[in-house]
Structure 1
Amino acid sequence: MKKQWDYNTFYERVGQQNGWDFSTMKVISEPTDWDFYDEVTRCTQTSDLLLDIGTGGGEAVLAIAEHAHLLVGIDLAHGMIETAQRNLKRTKKCSNVRFTQMDADNLQFPKSFFNIVSCRHSAFSASEVYNVLAEDGVFLTQQVSEHDKLNVKQAFGRGQHLGIEPGTLLEKYKQELQHAGFQHIEVREYNVTEYYATPEDLLFLLTHTPIVPQFGELASDLDIFEQFVQDHRDEKGIRTNSARFMITARK
Structure 2
Amino acid sequence: MTHTSDTAAREFAVRLRAAHAGTAMHGWDFSVLDGRLAADDPPWDFEAQCARVLAEASAAVDLGTGGGERLIRLLREVGESGGAGRDGPRKVSATEAWPPNLPRARTALEPWGVTVYDYDADRGDRLPFPDASVDLVMCRHESFDIAEIARVLRRGGLFLNQQVDGRDAQELRDWFGGEPQAPHVRLANAETEAEAAGLRVTHADEWAGTMEFSDAEALVTYMALVPWDVPGFEVDPHLSTLAQLDAERPIRVTQRRFRCCARRP
Query: TM-score scaled by structure 1?
Result: 0.79
Cα 1:134–1:155 change in 2 (3 A) is same
Cα 1:223–1:82 change in 2 (3 A) is farther
Whole-angstrom distance in 1 between the partners of 2:233 and 2:69: 24
Cα 1:202–1:219 change in 2 (3 A) is closer
- 1:157-172 alignment runs, 5 A limit: 157-161=177-181, 164=183, 169-172=186-189
Supply the AA of the counterpart residue of 1:88: L
Q: State the secondary structure of the residue aligned to 2:147.
A: helix
Supply the AA of the counterpart residue of 1:41: A
Alignment deviations for residues 14-51 of structure 1 (CA, whole Å, 9 cap, x no partner) = xx851221133232233431232222112222442211
Tell me which of 233, 238, 242 is aligned to 2:251: 238
- 1:140-179 alignment runs, 5 A limit: 140-161=160-181, 164=183, 169-179=186-196
Whole-angstrom distance in 1 between the partners of 2:181 and 2:155: 34
Supply the AA of the counterpart residue of 2:27: G
- Is 2:28 the partner of 1:20? yes
Cα 1:149–1:116 change in 2 (3 A) is same
- Pairwise CA distance, 1:196: 1.9
> Equivalent residue for 1:120?
140
> Equivalent residue for 1:9?
none
Cα 1:52–1:197 change in 2 (3 A) is same
Q: State the secondary structure of the residue aligned to 1:187.
A: strand
Cα 1:72–1:161 change in 2 (3 A) is same
Whole-angstrom distance in 2 between the partners of 1:86 and 1:196: 32
- Pairwise CA distance, 1:144: 1.1
- Is 2:111 the partner of 1:98? no
Query: TM-score scaled by structure 2?
Result: 0.75
> Equivalent residue for 1:192?
209
- Pairwise CA distance, 1:191: 0.7
Supply the AA of the counterpart residue of 1:244: R
Q: State the secondary structure of the residue aligned to 2:130.
A: coil
Whole-angstrom distance in 1 between the partners of 2:203 and 2:97: 27
Q: State the secondary structure of the residue aligned to 1:109.
A: coil
- 1:77-96 alignment runs, 5 A limit: 77-88=98-109, 94-96=111-113
Whole-angstrom distance in 2 between the partners of 1:70 and 1:169: 31
> Equivalent residue for 2:233?
215
Whole-angstrom distance in 1 between the partners of 2:140 and 2:206: 14
Whole-angstrom distance in 1 between the partners of 2:240 and 2:146: 42
- Asked if the contact 1:152–1:228 (Cα under 8 Å) also holds between the matched residues in 2, the reply is no
Supply the AA of the counterpart residue of 2:221: F
Cα 1:222–1:20 change in 2 (3 A) is farther
Question: 5+ unaligned residues in a row in structure 2: which ranges?
Answer: 1-23, 79-84
- Asked if the contact 2:204–2:259 (Cα under 8 Å) also holds between the matched residues in 1, the reply is yes
- Pairwise CA distance, 1:208: 1.5
Whole-angstrom distance in 1 between the partners of 2:185 and 2:134: 29
Alignment deviations for residues 174-233 of structure 1 (CA, whole Å, 9 cap, x no partner) = 2221111002342111111121234333222211211111122x74134433333334x1
Identical-residue share of aligned pairs (%): 28
Question: 5+ unaligned residues in a row in structure 1: which ranges?
Answer: 1-15
- Asked if the contact 2:57–2:135 (Cα under 8 Å) also holds between the matched residues in 1, the reply is no
Q: How many residues get paired?
A: 224
Alignment deviations for residues 60-91 of structure 1 (CA, whole Å, 9 cap, x no partner) = 111112437232110122212122124336xx
Tell me which of 52, 61, 78 is aligned to 1:51: 61
Alignment deviations for residues 125-147 of structure 1 (CA, whole Å, 9 cap, x no partner) = 11100111111011011111133
- Asked if the contact 2:187–2:205 (Cα under 8 Å) also holds between the matched residues in 1, the reply is no
Q: Which has the larger radius of gyration?
A: 2
